[in-house]
Amino acid sequence: MKRATPDHPPEVQLFTDGACSGNPGPGGWAFILRHLRSGKELERSGAEASTTNNRMELMGVIQGLEALKRPTVVEIISDSTYVLKGISEWLPKWKANGWRRRERDRWAEVKNEDLWRRLDQLLAKHQVHVTHIMGHAGHPENERCDQLAVAAYRRLTD
């Protein structure tokens, strides 16, 4: 994964979140993509009828990166330790081990491998770094993404 550097600061910030009612259950994802120079923002959200919270967290990032039209320096800002550690620590190991992970003394499948592979292809196109924020702690963009994700899955259940 290419990284953003001090010489190449982020061009965009990608705020993401996922939400699920039950795990599994109906779930939603959302992102806010902010172009730093212009201040323009793009918000999107979506939902699935039966999914997990981790899958929705991944979809927020995937959908946000897929919205970019060209290679971009991106700061991904999320409250999901699962996604951020996956990007920065686990993904390179999984790939080196044939998309397997160690589970105690044996090899196990990578959970959500389909989405991790999709995300891996997107990460290769961009210079990315990740920033962890606390969820439900008043961070405006994180709170907005949570609202969008919850509203998306509620449209499926109402």
Q: Is 117 exposed, middle or buried (0-12, 13-18, 19+ CB in 10 A)?
A: middle
Ranges of H-type helices in 33-139: 53-66, 81-85, 91-96, 113-123
113 tagged catalytic:
no
Assess whether 158 carries a catalytic annotation: no
Query: What does the pLDDT read at residue 110?
Result: 94
Catalytic residue among 11, 17, 75, 141: 17
Catalytic site includes residue 18:
yes
Residue stretches of the chain with pLDDT short of 50: none
Task: Catalytic residue, from 8, 22, 114, 136: name it.
Answer: 136
Is 136 one of the catalytic residues?
yes
pLDDT score of 72 = 94
Annotated catalytic residue: which of 11, 48, 75, 146? 146
pLDDT given for residue 132 in this prediction: 96
Determine the pLDDT at residue 107.
93
Q: Pick the catalytic residue: 11, 75, 79, 141?
A: 79
Question: Is 89 a known active-site residue?
Answer: no
Quick one: pLDDT at residue 10? Answer: 67
CA-CA-CA-CA dihedral for 137, 139, 140, 144, to nearest 10: -60
**Catalytic residue check, 126:** no
